[in-house]
């Protein structure tokens, strides 16, 4: 008669039938934790929406949700362009000023130069492209830190906007105004936001340029040694940021039917905040379009909710600052738990 023994002669240990179930339970719990850690902004947005629904009956109305989407649109479009820059471990402080300059050039060319509206629309986008490309050239070839290069562009673009406008608003072309209108009850700014998000997602996840951005943000020297044309990629990154900023400026001008000389002031900070809240790291190498979209919507929901609750705009700035700090702290915690 044979007995079941190990090679050492000791009986084989009996496996508890509940062990696989316990293992599956632990792995399931870990998967849930990992999902929450990787989608903290989305979880925060859902929790915030539930809280505001409980706090005020006006939050989850169709009109208010559309209003939130329109409020988020400009910042989201700016933030999609900023995502490219932050993925490469850079920063672009000029996007708010470039948005204003692009809209002002478009308006000036229509109101004072008599160019067709669709031509002025293209000129506005080209203005953003040129401003971003100059920042990229200064960073990649001029070896200026991105902070300094884009800070200089912010000052130049803001000054140029004031020179062109002489400090006064200029009416925009009907083609630009269409960007701020609605199709039925659905606002065009939200459509532009979604299209910009799809384009950002496609570039980051489906193109060689997008993969190069992640490689540069992860390790710029390794990217260079692997054959990636780092300087050309960086110029393209800042040029893309400028184009997205121009689109945001045109959408903003379309909503007002005029280009405002002080438009976009401080919007670069909101764009950076949206990208960071969405899960991107300022150290580079991480970031995605969906996270940026959630981050921009979260900022808009916070502001909208505080307005519905009659919270002072002064306190709103404090709350936004706390949210940004919490998002960065959450990113640090997430990195510690995954290393």
List, for residues 289-329, the tens digit of each pLDDT value.
999 999 999 999 999 999 999 988 888 889 888 888 887 77
Contact between 188 and 178 under an 8 Å Cβ cutoff? The reply is yes
pTM of the model: 0.89
pLDDT digits 0-9 by tens, 65-121: 999 999 999 999 999 999 999 999 999 999 999 999 999 999 999 999 989 999 999
Q: What share of the chain is helix, strand, coil (3-state, %, to 5)?
A: 75, 5, 25
Q: Where are the domains of the chain?
A: 41-338
The DSSP H or E segment spanning 182 is strand 182-183
For range 47-73, the mean pLDDT: 93
How far is 189 from 240, CA to CA, in rounded Å?
19
Share of the chain above pLDDT 70, in %: 89
Specify the fold of 41-338. Answer: ABC transporter involved in vitamin B12 uptake, BtuC (1.10.3470)
Report the Cα–Cα distance between both ends of the chain, in Å, rounded.
52
């Amino acid at each position: 008669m044979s007995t079941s023994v190990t090679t050492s002669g000791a009986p084989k240990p009996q496996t508890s039938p509940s062990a696989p179930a316990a293992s599956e339970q632990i792995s399931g719990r870990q998967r849930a934790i990992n999902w929450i850690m990787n989608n903290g902004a989305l979880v925060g947005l859902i929790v915030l929406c539930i809280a505001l629904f409980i706090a005020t009956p006006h939050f989850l109305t169709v009109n208010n949700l559309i209003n939130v989407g329109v409020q988020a649109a400009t910042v989201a479009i700016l933030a999609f362009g900023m995502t490219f820059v932050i993925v490469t471990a850079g920063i672009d402080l000029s996007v708010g000023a470039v948005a204003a300059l692009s809209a002002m050039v478009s308006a000036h060319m229509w109101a004072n130069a008599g160019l067709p509206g669709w031509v002025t629309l293209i000129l506005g986008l080209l203005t953003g492209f040129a401003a971003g490309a100059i920042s990229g050239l200064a960073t990649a070839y001029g070896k200026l830190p991105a902070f300094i290069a884009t800070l200089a562009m912010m000052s130049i673009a803001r000054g140029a906007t004031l020179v062109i406008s002489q400090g006064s608003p200029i009416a925009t072309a009907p083609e630009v105004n269409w960007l701020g209108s609605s199709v039925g009850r659905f606002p065009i700014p939200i459509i532009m936001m979604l299209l910009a998000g799809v384009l950002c997602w496609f570039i980051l996840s489906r193109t060689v340029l997008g993969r190069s951005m992640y490689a540069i943000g992860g390790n710029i020297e390794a990217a260079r040694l692997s054959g990636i044309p780092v300087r050309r990629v960086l110029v393209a990154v800042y040029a893309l940021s400028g184009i997205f900023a121009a689109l945001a400026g045109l959408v903003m001008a379309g909503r007002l039917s005029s280009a405002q000389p002080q438009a976009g002031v401080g919007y670069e900070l909101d764009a950076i905040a949206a990208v960071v809240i969405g899960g991107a790291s300022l150290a580079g190498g991480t970031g995605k379009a969906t996270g940026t979209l959630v981050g921009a919507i979260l900022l808009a929901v916070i502001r909208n909710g505080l307005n519905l609750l009659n919270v002072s705009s002064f306190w709103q700035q404090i709350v936004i600052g706390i949210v940004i700090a919490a998002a960065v702290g959450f990113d640090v915690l997430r990195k510690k738990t995954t290393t």
